[in-house]
A and B are shown apart, each in its own frame.
Chain A
Protein backbone atom coordinates (compact mmCIF):
# COMPACT_ATOMS: atom_id res chain seq x y z
CA UNK A 1 0.00 0.00 0.00
CA UNK A 2 1.19 3.49 -0.71
CA UNK A 3 2.43 5.04 2.52
CA UNK A 4 1.87 8.56 1.33
CA UNK A 5 -1.81 8.45 0.50
CA UNK A 6 -2.99 4.97 1.31
CA UNK A 7 -3.84 3.99 -2.22
CA UNK A 8 -3.10 0.46 -3.29
CA UNK A 9 0.02 0.50 -5.44
CA UNK A 10 -0.50 -0.43 -9.01
CA UNK A 11 3.04 -0.56 -10.26
CA UNK A 12 4.80 -3.76 -11.15
CA UNK A 13 7.31 -3.00 -8.39
CA UNK A 14 4.51 -2.76 -5.83
CA UNK A 15 2.95 -5.99 -6.92
CA UNK A 16 6.27 -7.76 -6.86
CA UNK A 17 7.07 -6.37 -3.42
CA UNK A 18 3.66 -7.41 -2.10
CA UNK A 19 4.39 -10.88 -3.36
CA UNK A 20 7.76 -10.91 -1.58
CA UNK A 21 6.14 -9.71 1.65
CA UNK A 22 3.50 -12.38 1.46
CA UNK A 23 6.03 -15.11 0.91
CA UNK A 24 8.39 -13.84 3.64
CA UNK A 25 11.15 -12.78 1.23
CA UNK A 26 10.72 -9.05 1.79
CA UNK A 27 13.95 -7.06 2.01
CA UNK A 28 14.44 -3.52 3.26
CA UNK A 29 13.65 -0.90 0.65
CA UNK A 30 16.72 0.04 -1.37
CA UNK A 31 15.77 3.64 -0.82
CA UNK A 32 12.87 5.53 0.63
CA UNK A 33 11.02 8.12 -1.31
CA UNK A 34 9.83 11.39 0.05
CA UNK A 35 6.94 13.09 -1.64
CA UNK A 36 6.34 16.27 0.39
CA UNK A 37 3.33 17.19 -1.65
CA UNK A 38 1.40 14.34 -3.13
CA UNK A 39 0.83 14.26 -6.84
CA UNK A 40 -2.60 14.69 -8.37
CA UNK A 41 -5.25 12.77 -6.40
CA UNK A 42 -6.35 10.90 -9.48
CA UNK A 43 -4.35 8.71 -11.79
CA UNK A 44 -1.93 7.32 -9.23
CA UNK A 45 1.02 6.41 -11.35
CA UNK A 46 3.72 5.97 -8.77
CA UNK A 47 6.42 5.30 -11.30
CA UNK A 48 9.19 6.13 -8.90
CA UNK A 49 7.40 5.54 -5.65
CA UNK A 50 8.35 2.19 -4.22
CA UNK A 51 5.65 2.51 -1.56
CA UNK A 52 7.62 0.95 1.27
CA UNK A 53 8.42 2.39 4.71
CA UNK A 54 6.88 5.47 6.23
CA UNK A 55 7.43 8.48 4.02
CA UNK A 56 10.48 10.39 5.07
CA UNK A 57 12.15 7.71 7.14
CA UNK A 58 15.69 6.74 6.44
CA UNK A 59 16.73 3.18 6.01
CA UNK A 60 19.84 2.81 8.21
CA UNK A 61 22.94 1.94 6.34
CA UNK A 62 21.36 2.35 2.95
CA UNK A 63 22.04 5.04 0.40
CA UNK A 64 19.35 7.64 0.73
CA UNK A 65 17.61 8.65 -2.45
CA UNK A 66 14.83 11.16 -2.12
CA UNK A 67 12.13 12.24 -4.46
CA UNK A 68 11.84 15.99 -4.53
CA UNK A 69 8.70 17.37 -6.00
CA UNK A 70 9.53 20.46 -8.05
CA UNK A 71 6.42 21.36 -10.05
CA UNK A 72 8.23 24.32 -11.56
CA UNK A 73 7.84 25.69 -15.04
CA UNK A 74 11.09 25.20 -16.92
CA UNK A 75 10.84 28.68 -18.33
CA UNK A 76 9.87 30.24 -15.01
CA UNK A 77 13.06 32.32 -14.91
CA UNK A 78 12.29 33.73 -18.35
CA UNK A 79 8.67 34.22 -17.33
CA UNK A 80 9.70 36.16 -14.23
CA UNK A 81 11.80 38.53 -16.38
CA UNK A 82 8.86 38.84 -18.76
CA UNK A 83 6.49 39.61 -15.87
CA UNK A 84 8.84 42.34 -14.65
CA UNK A 85 9.01 43.81 -18.15
CA UNK A 86 5.22 43.69 -18.45
CA UNK A 87 4.76 45.50 -15.13
CA UNK A 88 7.31 48.16 -16.00
CA UNK A 89 5.78 48.74 -19.47
CA UNK A 90 2.21 48.85 -18.17
CA UNK A 91 3.16 51.37 -15.48
CA UNK A 92 4.08 53.78 -18.27
CA UNK A 93 1.20 52.84 -20.56
CA UNK A 94 3.63 51.55 -23.18
CA UNK A 95 2.28 49.21 -25.85
CA UNK A 96 4.86 46.52 -26.65
CA UNK A 97 4.57 44.29 -29.70
CA UNK A 98 6.83 41.35 -30.47
CA UNK A 99 7.30 40.94 -34.21
CA UNK A 100 8.03 37.36 -35.19
CA UNK A 101 8.56 35.83 -38.60
CA UNK A 102 10.97 33.91 -40.75
CA UNK A 103 14.01 35.84 -42.03
CA UNK A 104 13.20 38.01 -45.02
CA UNK A 105 9.47 38.47 -44.46
CA UNK A 106 9.93 42.23 -44.44
CA UNK A 107 9.83 43.04 -40.73
CA UNK A 108 12.37 45.85 -40.89
CA UNK A 109 10.89 47.41 -44.03
CA UNK A 110 7.46 47.26 -42.39
CA UNK A 111 8.86 48.94 -39.28
CA UNK A 112 10.60 51.73 -41.21
CA UNK A 113 7.40 52.49 -43.09
CA UNK A 114 5.34 52.27 -39.89
CA UNK A 115 7.62 54.69 -38.06
CA UNK A 116 7.30 57.21 -40.93
CA UNK A 117 3.52 56.95 -40.85
CA UNK A 118 3.26 57.25 -37.05
CA UNK A 119 4.87 60.69 -37.23
CA UNK A 120 5.25 62.26 -33.81
CA UNK A 121 4.23 59.13 -31.85
CA UNK A 122 7.03 58.39 -29.33
CA UNK A 123 8.45 54.94 -30.00
CA UNK A 124 11.54 52.78 -29.89
CA UNK A 125 12.71 49.56 -31.49
CA UNK A 126 14.62 46.63 -30.02
CA UNK A 127 16.24 44.70 -32.87
CA UNK A 128 17.14 41.07 -32.37
CA UNK A 129 19.54 39.33 -34.73
CA UNK A 130 22.30 36.81 -34.40
CA UNK A 131 24.84 39.19 -35.89
CA UNK A 132 25.29 42.72 -37.34
CA UNK A 133 23.62 46.00 -36.50
CA UNK A 134 22.19 46.38 -40.03
CA UNK A 135 18.58 46.45 -38.88
CA UNK A 136 19.14 48.91 -36.03
CA UNK A 137 21.03 51.13 -38.49
CA UNK A 138 18.05 51.06 -40.88
CA UNK A 139 15.68 52.01 -38.05
CA UNK A 140 17.96 54.81 -36.79
CA UNK A 141 18.02 56.22 -40.32
CA UNK A 142 14.30 56.99 -39.85
CA UNK A 143 15.18 59.04 -36.76
CA UNK A 144 13.72 56.57 -34.27
CA UNK A 145 15.80 55.22 -31.37
CA UNK A 146 16.83 51.61 -31.91
CA UNK A 147 18.84 49.18 -29.87
CA UNK A 148 20.45 46.16 -31.48
CA UNK A 149 20.59 42.95 -29.45
CA UNK A 150 22.91 40.36 -30.97
CA UNK A 151 22.07 36.95 -29.66
CA UNK A 152 25.28 35.36 -30.97
CA UNK A 153 24.32 31.75 -31.45
CA UNK A 154 20.90 32.29 -29.86
CA UNK A 155 17.80 31.61 -31.92
CA UNK A 156 15.40 33.91 -30.04
CA UNK A 157 15.20 36.91 -27.74
CA UNK A 158 14.40 36.19 -24.11
CA UNK A 159 12.94 38.15 -21.22
CA UNK A 160 16.31 39.00 -19.74
CA UNK A 161 17.67 40.43 -23.01
CA UNK A 162 14.62 42.66 -23.32
CA UNK A 163 14.94 43.79 -19.69
CA UNK A 164 18.53 44.82 -20.33
CA UNK A 165 17.54 46.58 -23.54
CA UNK A 166 14.72 48.45 -21.76
CA UNK A 167 17.21 49.72 -19.18
CA UNK A 168 19.14 51.40 -22.01
CA UNK A 169 16.10 52.90 -23.70
CA UNK A 170 14.46 55.81 -21.95
CA UNK A 171 10.89 55.32 -23.08
CA UNK A 172 8.38 58.07 -22.32
CA UNK A 173 4.85 57.39 -21.05
CA UNK A 174 2.48 56.26 -23.79
CA UNK A 175 5.25 55.14 -26.12
CA UNK A 176 5.15 52.28 -28.58
CA UNK A 177 7.79 49.59 -28.29
CA UNK A 178 8.51 47.36 -31.26
CA UNK A 179 10.56 44.26 -30.49
CA UNK A 180 11.79 42.73 -33.72
CA UNK A 181 12.62 39.16 -32.80
CA UNK A 182 15.27 37.00 -34.43
CA UNK A 183 13.98 35.76 -37.81
CA UNK A 184 12.83 32.27 -36.86
CA UNK A 185 9.38 30.73 -37.11
CA UNK A 186 9.97 28.21 -34.34
CA UNK A 187 11.83 29.16 -31.18
CA UNK A 188 10.58 32.69 -30.35
CA UNK A 189 7.06 31.27 -29.88
CA UNK A 190 7.99 29.78 -26.50
CA UNK A 191 9.63 32.86 -24.96
CA UNK A 192 7.47 35.50 -23.36
CA UNK A 193 9.20 38.88 -23.42
CA UNK A 194 6.53 40.82 -21.53
CA UNK A 195 4.88 42.06 -24.73
CA UNK A 196 1.20 42.86 -25.19
CA UNK A 197 0.96 40.83 -28.38
CA UNK A 198 3.01 38.69 -30.68
CA UNK A 199 2.55 39.70 -34.30
CA UNK A 200 3.46 37.13 -36.93
CA UNK A 201 4.51 38.51 -40.29
CA UNK A 202 4.17 36.27 -43.28
CA UNK A 203 5.08 37.38 -46.77
CA UNK A 204 3.07 36.08 -49.69
CA UNK A 205 6.18 34.57 -51.28
CA UNK A 206 6.53 32.06 -48.43
CA UNK A 207 3.65 29.76 -49.37
CA UNK A 208 0.11 29.29 -48.09
CA UNK A 209 0.98 26.28 -45.97
CA UNK A 210 3.50 28.03 -43.69
CA UNK A 211 0.95 28.38 -40.84
CA UNK A 212 0.38 24.62 -41.02
CA UNK A 213 4.10 23.85 -41.17
CA UNK A 214 5.00 26.12 -38.24
CA UNK A 215 1.81 26.16 -36.19
CA UNK A 216 3.28 27.10 -32.79
CA UNK A 217 4.17 30.60 -33.88
CA UNK A 218 0.83 31.37 -35.46
CA UNK A 219 -1.00 29.83 -32.51
CA UNK A 220 0.89 32.20 -30.19
CA UNK A 221 0.25 35.31 -32.30
CA UNK A 222 -2.69 37.67 -31.85
CA UNK A 223 -2.28 39.28 -35.26
CA UNK A 224 -0.90 37.97 -38.53
CA UNK A 225 0.28 40.41 -41.15
CA UNK A 226 0.24 39.13 -44.70
CA UNK A 227 3.00 41.28 -46.20
CA UNK A 228 4.18 41.92 -49.79
CA UNK A 229 0.68 41.59 -51.25
CA UNK A 230 1.91 43.64 -54.23
CA UNK A 231 3.82 40.49 -55.22
CA UNK A 232 0.79 38.20 -54.96
CA UNK A 233 -0.11 38.36 -58.70
CA UNK A 234 3.43 37.20 -59.57
CA UNK A 235 3.53 34.30 -57.10
CA UNK A 236 0.43 32.25 -57.96
CA UNK A 237 -0.75 32.49 -54.37
CA UNK A 238 -4.22 32.38 -52.91
CA UNK A 239 -4.52 35.01 -50.17
CA UNK A 240 -7.81 33.53 -48.93
CA UNK A 241 -6.06 30.19 -48.46
CA UNK A 242 -3.36 31.96 -46.40
CA UNK A 243 -6.11 33.31 -44.14
CA UNK A 244 -7.96 30.00 -43.95
CA UNK A 245 -4.76 28.22 -42.90
CA UNK A 246 -4.01 30.89 -40.30
CA UNK A 247 -7.48 30.47 -38.80
CA UNK A 248 -7.15 26.70 -38.86
CA UNK A 249 -4.13 27.03 -36.56
CA UNK A 250 -5.61 29.85 -34.50
CA UNK A 251 -9.34 30.58 -34.88
CA UNK A 252 -8.95 33.83 -32.91
CA UNK A 253 -6.12 35.33 -34.98
CA UNK A 254 -6.65 38.72 -36.61
CA UNK A 255 -5.31 39.09 -40.13
CA UNK A 256 -4.21 42.20 -42.01
CA UNK A 257 -3.15 42.22 -45.65
CA UNK A 258 -0.67 44.88 -46.66
CA UNK A 259 2.37 45.87 -48.65
CA UNK A 260 4.97 47.85 -46.75
CA UNK A 261 6.57 48.71 -50.11
CA UNK A 262 3.53 50.22 -51.86
CA UNK A 263 1.71 51.30 -48.69
CA UNK A 264 -1.44 49.37 -49.57
CA UNK A 265 -3.24 48.28 -46.41
CA UNK A 266 -0.84 50.16 -44.14
CA UNK A 267 -3.60 52.43 -42.80
CA UNK A 268 -5.34 49.45 -41.21
CA UNK A 269 -2.13 48.43 -39.45
CA UNK A 270 -1.49 51.93 -38.14
CA UNK A 271 -5.09 52.00 -36.92
CA UNK A 272 -4.56 48.63 -35.14
CA UNK A 273 -1.54 50.07 -33.31
CA UNK A 274 -3.32 53.29 -32.35
CA UNK A 275 -6.29 51.33 -30.98
CA UNK A 276 -3.88 49.17 -28.96
CA UNK A 277 -2.15 52.25 -27.59
CA UNK A 278 -5.47 53.87 -26.64
CA UNK A 279 -6.55 50.68 -24.84
CA UNK A 280 -3.22 50.49 -23.01
CA UNK A 281 -3.38 54.09 -21.87
CA UNK A 282 -7.00 53.85 -20.73
Chain B
Protein backbone atom coordinates (compact mmCIF):
# COMPACT_ATOMS: atom_id res chain seq x y z
CA UNK B 1 0.00 0.00 0.00
CA UNK B 2 1.13 3.45 -0.74
CA UNK B 3 -0.87 5.13 1.95
CA UNK B 4 0.90 5.66 5.23
CA UNK B 5 -0.50 3.15 7.68
CA UNK B 6 -1.69 4.09 11.11
CA UNK B 7 -1.68 1.78 14.07
CA UNK B 8 -5.24 0.65 13.70
CA UNK B 9 -4.64 -0.19 10.06
CA UNK B 10 -1.61 -2.26 10.88
CA UNK B 11 -3.67 -4.06 13.48
CA UNK B 12 -6.43 -4.68 10.97
CA UNK B 13 -4.17 -5.85 8.19
CA UNK B 14 -2.05 -7.95 10.50
CA UNK B 15 -5.00 -9.63 12.19
CA UNK B 16 -5.61 -12.28 9.54
CA UNK B 17 -1.93 -13.28 9.44
CA UNK B 18 -1.74 -13.40 13.22
CA UNK B 19 -4.80 -15.61 13.11
CA UNK B 20 -3.07 -17.91 10.62
CA UNK B 21 -0.04 -18.14 12.90
CA UNK B 22 -2.26 -19.01 15.84
CA UNK B 23 -3.93 -21.71 13.76
CA UNK B 24 -0.59 -23.11 12.70
CA UNK B 25 0.74 -23.16 16.24
CA UNK B 26 -2.46 -24.68 17.59
CA UNK B 27 -2.70 -27.45 15.05
CA UNK B 28 1.02 -28.17 15.16
CA UNK B 29 1.31 -28.40 18.93
CA UNK B 30 -2.12 -29.45 20.17
CA UNK B 31 -2.78 -31.28 16.94
CA UNK B 32 0.30 -33.42 16.93
CA UNK B 33 -0.26 -34.35 20.55
CA UNK B 34 -3.67 -35.87 19.88
CA UNK B 35 -3.45 -36.52 16.19
CA UNK B 36 -5.05 -39.58 14.75
CA UNK B 37 -2.66 -39.50 11.85
CA UNK B 38 1.02 -40.07 12.25
CA UNK B 39 2.00 -37.40 9.78
CA UNK B 40 3.10 -34.02 11.09
CA UNK B 41 0.70 -31.21 10.35
CA UNK B 42 3.39 -28.69 9.56
CA UNK B 43 5.12 -30.85 6.97
CA UNK B 44 6.08 -29.14 3.73
CA UNK B 45 3.98 -31.54 1.67
CA UNK B 46 0.94 -30.87 3.77
CA UNK B 47 1.36 -27.11 3.45
CA UNK B 48 1.88 -27.33 -0.31
CA UNK B 49 -1.25 -29.39 -0.61
CA UNK B 50 -3.09 -26.84 1.49
CA UNK B 51 -2.16 -24.09 -0.92
CA UNK B 52 -3.27 -26.17 -3.85
CA UNK B 53 -6.61 -26.88 -2.24
CA UNK B 54 -7.08 -23.19 -1.48
CA UNK B 55 -6.80 -22.31 -5.15
CA UNK B 56 -10.34 -22.82 -6.54
CA UNK B 57 -12.16 -20.71 -3.94
CA UNK B 58 -9.12 -18.51 -3.54
CA UNK B 59 -8.99 -17.35 -7.14
CA UNK B 60 -12.70 -16.51 -7.03
CA UNK B 61 -12.28 -14.72 -3.70
CA UNK B 62 -9.62 -12.48 -5.26
CA UNK B 63 -12.15 -11.35 -7.83
CA UNK B 64 -14.81 -10.93 -5.16
CA UNK B 65 -12.43 -8.62 -3.30
CA UNK B 66 -12.21 -6.29 -6.27
CA UNK B 67 -15.95 -6.24 -6.84
CA UNK B 68 -16.60 -5.62 -3.15
CA UNK B 69 -14.00 -2.86 -2.90
CA UNK B 70 -15.83 -1.30 -5.82
CA UNK B 71 -19.02 -1.37 -3.71
CA UNK B 72 -20.76 -4.27 -5.44
CA UNK B 73 -21.07 -8.00 -4.86
CA UNK B 74 -21.28 -11.01 -7.18
CA UNK B 75 -23.43 -14.00 -6.20
CA UNK B 76 -23.23 -15.65 -9.62
CA UNK B 77 -19.61 -16.81 -9.48
CA UNK B 78 -20.49 -20.40 -8.61
CA UNK B 79 -22.63 -20.71 -11.74
CA UNK B 80 -20.02 -18.95 -13.85
CA UNK B 81 -17.46 -21.40 -12.52
CA UNK B 82 -19.64 -24.36 -13.55
CA UNK B 83 -20.43 -23.00 -17.01
CA UNK B 84 -16.78 -22.25 -17.74
CA UNK B 85 -15.92 -25.78 -16.68
CA UNK B 86 -18.54 -27.23 -19.01
CA UNK B 87 -17.24 -25.13 -21.90
CA UNK B 88 -13.67 -26.17 -21.12
CA UNK B 89 -14.36 -29.89 -21.10
CA UNK B 90 -16.95 -29.99 -23.81
CA UNK B 91 -15.06 -27.86 -26.28
CA UNK B 92 -12.22 -30.35 -26.31
CA UNK B 93 -14.57 -32.97 -27.71
CA UNK B 94 -15.61 -30.85 -30.69
CA UNK B 95 -14.41 -32.48 -33.92
CA UNK B 96 -12.30 -29.57 -35.12
CA UNK B 97 -10.74 -29.25 -31.72
CA UNK B 98 -9.84 -32.93 -31.62
CA UNK B 99 -8.13 -32.54 -34.95
CA UNK B 100 -5.84 -29.99 -33.35
CA UNK B 101 -4.34 -32.46 -30.91
CA UNK B 102 -2.79 -30.80 -27.88
CA UNK B 103 -3.21 -27.42 -29.50
CA UNK B 104 -6.85 -27.76 -28.52
CA UNK B 105 -5.86 -27.15 -24.90
CA UNK B 106 -5.00 -23.46 -25.04
CA UNK B 107 -8.00 -22.93 -27.30
CA UNK B 108 -10.31 -24.66 -24.85
CA UNK B 109 -8.88 -22.57 -22.05
CA UNK B 110 -9.51 -19.51 -24.13
CA UNK B 111 -13.14 -20.49 -24.72
CA UNK B 112 -13.70 -21.13 -21.02
CA UNK B 113 -12.09 -17.85 -19.95
CA UNK B 114 -14.02 -15.97 -22.60
CA UNK B 115 -17.23 -17.49 -21.24
CA UNK B 116 -16.40 -16.09 -17.81
CA UNK B 117 -15.60 -12.66 -19.20
CA UNK B 118 -18.82 -12.52 -21.19
CA UNK B 119 -20.96 -13.58 -18.22
CA UNK B 120 -19.21 -10.97 -16.10
CA UNK B 121 -19.80 -8.32 -18.72
CA UNK B 122 -23.50 -9.21 -18.78
CA UNK B 123 -23.72 -8.69 -15.01
CA UNK B 124 -21.73 -5.49 -15.17
CA UNK B 125 -23.73 -3.99 -18.00
CA UNK B 126 -27.03 -4.79 -16.29
CA UNK B 127 -25.83 -3.23 -13.03
CA UNK B 128 -24.58 -0.16 -14.87
CA UNK B 129 -27.44 0.42 -17.26
CA UNK B 130 -30.47 -0.54 -15.17
CA UNK B 131 -29.20 0.78 -11.85
CA UNK B 132 -30.54 -2.35 -10.14
CA UNK B 133 -28.51 -3.32 -7.10
CA UNK B 134 -25.67 -5.74 -7.86
CA UNK B 135 -26.89 -8.06 -5.14
CA UNK B 136 -30.20 -8.59 -6.96
CA UNK B 137 -28.73 -8.68 -10.45
CA UNK B 138 -26.19 -11.35 -9.58
CA UNK B 139 -28.67 -13.27 -7.44
CA UNK B 140 -30.83 -13.56 -10.55
CA UNK B 141 -27.91 -14.41 -12.81
CA UNK B 142 -26.90 -17.07 -10.36
CA UNK B 143 -30.12 -18.83 -11.38
CA UNK B 144 -29.86 -17.85 -15.03
CA UNK B 145 -26.24 -18.93 -15.49
CA UNK B 146 -27.04 -22.20 -13.74
CA UNK B 147 -29.81 -22.65 -16.27
CA UNK B 148 -27.26 -22.28 -19.05
CA UNK B 149 -25.16 -24.98 -17.40
CA UNK B 150 -28.09 -27.39 -17.42
CA UNK B 151 -28.96 -26.41 -20.96
CA UNK B 152 -25.63 -27.78 -22.04
CA UNK B 153 -25.92 -31.32 -20.88
CA UNK B 154 -29.07 -31.67 -18.81
CA UNK B 155 -28.41 -33.28 -15.48
CA UNK B 156 -25.61 -35.38 -16.94
CA UNK B 157 -22.04 -34.67 -15.97
CA UNK B 158 -19.78 -33.39 -18.72
CA UNK B 159 -16.52 -35.29 -18.83
CA UNK B 160 -13.38 -35.25 -20.85
CA UNK B 161 -10.01 -36.32 -19.60
CA UNK B 162 -7.02 -35.04 -21.49
CA UNK B 163 -3.91 -36.62 -20.05
CA UNK B 164 -1.61 -33.87 -21.21
CA UNK B 165 -3.80 -31.50 -19.30
CA UNK B 166 -3.92 -33.67 -16.21
CA UNK B 167 -0.15 -33.91 -16.21
CA UNK B 168 0.08 -30.17 -16.48
CA UNK B 169 -2.38 -29.64 -13.64
CA UNK B 170 -0.66 -32.10 -11.38
CA UNK B 171 2.81 -30.80 -12.10
CA UNK B 172 4.87 -29.11 -9.43
CA UNK B 173 7.22 -26.32 -10.29
CA UNK B 174 9.66 -25.23 -7.58
CA UNK B 175 7.60 -27.38 -5.26
CA UNK B 176 4.34 -25.53 -5.83
CA UNK B 177 1.45 -27.12 -7.68
CA UNK B 178 0.13 -25.63 -10.89
CA UNK B 179 -3.02 -24.47 -9.12
CA UNK B 180 -0.98 -22.68 -6.47
CA UNK B 181 0.99 -20.87 -9.15
CA UNK B 182 -2.23 -19.68 -10.67
CA UNK B 183 -3.51 -18.50 -7.29
CA UNK B 184 -0.31 -16.64 -6.49
CA UNK B 185 0.04 -15.27 -10.01
CA UNK B 186 -3.52 -13.97 -10.01
CA UNK B 187 -2.99 -12.46 -6.56
CA UNK B 188 0.17 -10.68 -7.70
CA UNK B 189 -1.42 -9.27 -10.84
CA UNK B 190 -4.55 -8.15 -9.02
CA UNK B 191 -2.51 -6.64 -6.23
CA UNK B 192 -0.62 -4.62 -8.82
CA UNK B 193 -3.90 -3.68 -10.47
CA UNK B 194 -5.51 -2.48 -7.26
CA UNK B 195 -2.54 -0.65 -5.82
CA UNK B 196 -0.67 0.66 -8.84
CA UNK B 197 -3.15 1.46 -11.56
CA UNK B 198 -5.60 4.26 -12.06
CA UNK B 199 -8.39 1.72 -12.50
CA UNK B 200 -7.61 0.14 -9.15
CA UNK B 201 -7.41 3.41 -7.29
CA UNK B 202 -10.61 4.64 -8.88
CA UNK B 203 -12.32 1.40 -7.88
CA UNK B 204 -11.41 2.17 -4.27
CA UNK B 205 -12.58 5.76 -4.62
CA UNK B 206 -15.94 4.68 -6.08
CA UNK B 207 -16.55 2.17 -3.31
CA UNK B 208 -15.42 4.59 -0.63
CA UNK B 209 -17.45 7.64 -1.67
CA UNK B 210 -19.37 7.20 -4.86
CA UNK B 211 -20.69 10.74 -4.91
CA UNK B 212 -17.22 12.21 -4.52
CA UNK B 213 -15.97 9.99 -7.33
CA UNK B 214 -18.79 11.05 -9.62
CA UNK B 215 -18.21 14.71 -8.78
CA UNK B 216 -14.54 14.27 -9.58
CA UNK B 217 -15.57 13.11 -13.05
CA UNK B 218 -14.74 9.42 -12.59
CA UNK B 219 -16.94 7.29 -14.86
CA UNK B 220 -18.43 4.80 -12.47
CA UNK B 221 -20.17 2.51 -14.98
CA UNK B 222 -17.17 1.35 -17.02
CA UNK B 223 -15.27 0.61 -13.84
CA UNK B 224 -18.18 -1.55 -12.66
CA UNK B 225 -18.24 -3.47 -15.93
CA UNK B 226 -14.49 -4.01 -15.97
CA UNK B 227 -14.53 -5.37 -12.44
CA UNK B 228 -17.41 -7.73 -13.17
CA UNK B 229 -15.53 -8.93 -16.25
CA UNK B 230 -12.51 -9.53 -14.05
CA UNK B 231 -14.42 -11.61 -11.52
CA UNK B 232 -16.03 -13.55 -14.36
CA UNK B 233 -12.59 -14.20 -15.81
CA UNK B 234 -11.30 -15.33 -12.41
CA UNK B 235 -14.27 -17.64 -11.78
CA UNK B 236 -13.53 -19.19 -15.18
CA UNK B 237 -9.81 -19.37 -14.40
CA UNK B 238 -10.64 -21.17 -11.19
CA UNK B 239 -12.70 -23.67 -13.17
CA UNK B 240 -9.95 -24.10 -15.74
CA UNK B 241 -7.39 -24.86 -13.06
CA UNK B 242 -9.63 -27.25 -11.19
CA UNK B 243 -11.22 -29.18 -14.05
CA UNK B 244 -8.06 -29.61 -16.05
CA UNK B 245 -7.20 -32.09 -13.39
CA UNK B 246 -10.54 -33.62 -12.48
CA UNK B 247 -11.87 -33.87 -16.03
CA UNK B 248 -15.55 -34.11 -15.07
CA UNK B 249 -18.08 -31.47 -14.11
CA UNK B 250 -21.50 -31.98 -12.56
CA UNK B 251 -24.10 -29.36 -13.38
CA UNK B 252 -24.42 -28.54 -9.67
CA UNK B 253 -20.70 -27.93 -9.17
CA UNK B 254 -19.72 -24.58 -7.78
CA UNK B 255 -22.90 -24.15 -5.76
CA UNK B 256 -22.36 -22.02 -2.64
CA UNK B 257 -18.91 -21.02 -3.90
CA UNK B 258 -20.12 -17.42 -3.83
CA UNK B 259 -20.76 -17.71 -0.14
CA UNK B 260 -17.40 -19.31 0.60
CA UNK B 261 -15.63 -16.65 -1.41
CA UNK B 262 -17.46 -13.85 0.39
CA UNK B 263 -16.61 -15.46 3.73
CA UNK B 264 -12.91 -15.46 2.85
CA UNK B 265 -13.06 -11.87 1.66
CA UNK B 266 -14.81 -10.66 4.79
CA UNK B 267 -12.41 -12.60 7.01
CA UNK B 268 -9.64 -10.77 5.18
CA UNK B 269 -11.16 -7.51 6.37
CA UNK B 270 -12.65 -6.11 3.16
CA UNK B 271 -15.58 -3.85 3.91
CA UNK B 272 -18.96 -4.93 2.63
CA UNK B 273 -19.84 -1.31 1.98
CA UNK B 274 -16.84 -0.93 -0.29
CA UNK B 275 -13.79 1.31 -0.42
CA UNK B 276 -11.62 -0.72 1.87
CA UNK B 277 -9.89 -4.05 1.54
CA UNK B 278 -6.86 -5.73 0.10
CA UNK B 279 -6.01 -8.60 -2.21
CA UNK B 280 -3.26 -9.82 0.09
CA UNK B 281 -5.58 -9.94 3.10
CA UNK B 282 -8.09 -11.94 1.10
CA UNK B 283 -5.32 -14.41 0.33
CA UNK B 284 -4.86 -14.58 4.09
CA UNK B 285 -8.58 -15.19 4.55
CA UNK B 286 -8.54 -18.01 2.02
CA UNK B 287 -5.55 -19.68 3.62
CA UNK B 288 -7.01 -19.27 7.11
CA UNK B 289 -10.18 -21.08 6.10
CA UNK B 290 -8.34 -23.90 4.36
CA UNK B 291 -6.00 -24.23 7.33
CA UNK B 292 -8.98 -24.54 9.61
CA UNK B 293 -10.48 -27.24 7.41
CA UNK B 294 -7.32 -29.26 7.26
CA UNK B 295 -6.36 -28.59 10.85
CA UNK B 296 -9.64 -29.70 12.33
CA UNK B 297 -9.43 -32.83 10.22
CA UNK B 298 -5.91 -33.35 11.45
CA UNK B 299 -6.83 -33.25 15.13
CA UNK B 300 -9.58 -35.71 14.44
CA UNK B 301 -12.51 -33.34 14.70
CA UNK B 302 -15.36 -34.19 12.41
CA UNK B 303 -15.11 -32.35 9.15
CA UNK B 304 -18.58 -31.03 9.86
CA UNK B 305 -17.33 -28.94 12.78
CA UNK B 306 -15.37 -26.90 10.26
CA UNK B 307 -18.52 -25.20 9.02
CA UNK B 308 -19.61 -24.45 12.55
CA UNK B 309 -16.26 -22.97 13.47
CA UNK B 310 -15.93 -20.91 10.30
CA UNK B 311 -19.41 -19.48 10.77
CA UNK B 312 -18.78 -18.53 14.36
CA UNK B 313 -15.40 -17.03 13.53
CA UNK B 314 -17.00 -14.88 10.84
CA UNK B 315 -19.52 -13.54 13.36
CA UNK B 316 -16.76 -13.11 15.95
CA UNK B 317 -14.76 -11.02 13.50
CA UNK B 318 -17.80 -8.83 12.93
CA UNK B 319 -18.32 -8.27 16.65
CA UNK B 320 -14.63 -7.49 17.11
CA UNK B 321 -14.67 -5.05 14.23
CA UNK B 322 -17.65 -3.28 15.72
CA UNK B 323 -15.96 -2.98 19.11
CA UNK B 324 -12.85 -1.55 17.46
CA UNK B 325 -14.82 1.04 15.53
CA UNK B 326 -17.08 2.06 18.38
CA UNK B 327 -17.49 5.74 18.84
CA UNK B 328 -17.61 7.47 22.19
CA UNK B 329 -20.47 7.72 24.61
CA UNK B 330 -21.63 10.91 22.95
CA UNK B 331 -22.90 8.91 20.00
CA UNK B 332 -26.49 9.36 18.91
CA UNK B 333 -28.40 6.26 19.97
CA UNK B 334 -30.06 5.29 16.75
User: Is chain B found bound to chain A in the same assembly?
Assistant: no
